[in-house]
Homo-oligomer: A and B are copies of this chain.
Amino acid sequence: MLSSLVRRLEQFGPLSEAEQQALRALPLRLRDVAARRDIVPEGDQPKDVSLIVEGFACRYKLLGDGRRRILAFLIPGDICDLQALLLRRMDHGVAALNRNRIATVPHELLLDIIRRHPRIALAVWCDTMRDAATCRQWLANMGRSPAYARIAHLLCEIWSRLQAVGLTNGDAYELPVTQTDIGDAMGLSVVHVNRTLQQLRADGLISFRSNVVMVLDWPRLQAAAEFDPAYLQLNAVPPFFLKSRTRRSAVSQVAAQ
């Protein structure tokens, strides 16, 4: 649980002892959220940051006519409502897709750590940036590529992200979403999602039964999706980590003033 936050942030590079200490000293609170319930409601002004320890979730917006638009899928290790840390109000909601275990940290404490440890601030900031990059990728896929490629791309993305946190089982992974969810996410009707999935199955690219996706033909799936995992920045090592020593001494100098 706690370690998942550390692991998350260390994805970009090792944290110092002091930094790890600070994170481990955080009084994490755990809570469970039932499937299909809100983790963070739309328009909420949470006072804590919520991290998914276990389970799948989605960001969504409700449209005027009552329909729901899914904006992103969240997996273990993802932060739900970082946005509210600085902008206060959530412009969208986050809902659990299956049973979720959520860890929460009060804004106060996180802001404090961020002030004391600039590198942690930058690591968390990175999270916002990767979130934005993923959103842009979805935006690019939307509207311009046909349903077949869109869904293929989604399946590629989720496999890659799950793989990065060790939640794949070879070419297979759990994906607890209905076809309606996929439709809400890709901007397609359920009916069309259904037919497109059948096409993907018929073409031998995937299988998808009882919430388990299995990639049967990676090269062709990736080609159909025009998938390039670069945007996910899964193994990026930002410059400030490479210069950890000098940076830290620079910080010390400032502190010593």
Chain A positions near chain B (C-beta within 8 angstroms): 59, 61, 63-64, 67, 69, 71, 82-83, 86-89, 91-92, 107, 111-112, 114-116, 118, 121-122, 125-126, 128-133, 135-140, 142-145, 186-188, 226, 230-231, 233, 236, 238-240, 247, 250-251, 254-257
CB neighbours of A236 from chain B (8 A): 87-89
Of chain B, the residue at the smallest CB distance from A135 is: B135
> With contacts A86-B240, A88-B236, A116-B254 known, what are 4 further pairs, Cβ within 8 A?
A67-B144, A86-B122, A128-B129, A255-B255
How many Å from the CB of A148 to the closest CB on chain B? Answer: 14
Give 23 A-B contacts (CB < 8 Å), ordered by A residue.
Answer: A63-B226, A69-B144, A82-B129, A83-B132, A86-B126, A86-B129, A86-B239, A86-B240, A88-B236, A91-B133, A91-B136, A91-B230, A91-B233, A92-B136, A114-B118, A115-B250, A115-B251, A121-B121, A121-B125, A128-B132, A143-B143, A254-B255, A255-B255
Give the secondary structure class of A's interface: helix
CB distance from A43 to the nearest CB of B (A): 8
B69 touches A139 (CB 8 A): yes
Tell whether, in the assembled complex, residue A91 and residue B137 are in contact, meaning their CB atoms are under 8 Å apart: yes
The one of B69, B126, B188 that contacts A87, using a Cβ cutoff of 8 Å: B126
Q: Are A143 and B186 in contact (CB under 8 A)?
A: yes
Per the bound structure, the CA–CA distance linking A139 and B140 in Å amounts to 9
Number of copies of this protein chain within its complex: 2
Give Cα distance in the complex from A143 to B147, angstroms. Answer: 11
Do B140 and A61 touch (CB < 8 A)? yes
Q: How far is the CB of A241 from chain B (nearest CB, A)?
A: 10
B142 & A187 in contact (Cβ 8 Å cutoff) = yes
Most buried by B among A59, A87, A142, A233: A87
- On whether A142 and B142 interact (CB within 8 A), knowing A131-B132, A233-B87, the answer reads yes
In the complex with contacts A91-B230, A257-B255, A136-B86 CB distance below 8 A: no
- Minimum CB–CB distance for A163 against chain B, Å: 19
Give the docked Cα–Cα distance between A67 and B131 (Å): 24
In the assembled complex, how far is the CB of residue A27 from the closest CB belonging to chain B, in whole angstroms? Answer: 18
**Would B130 and A239 count as touching, CB distance under 8 A?**
no
CB-based contact A136/B136 at 8 Å: no
The 3 closest A-B pairs by CB, nearest first: A143-B187, A132-B132, A135-B135
- Nearest Cβ distance between residue A230 and chain B, in whole angstroms? 7
A116-B254, A118-B118, A254-B255 as given contacts; A83 in contact with B133, CB under 8 Å? yes
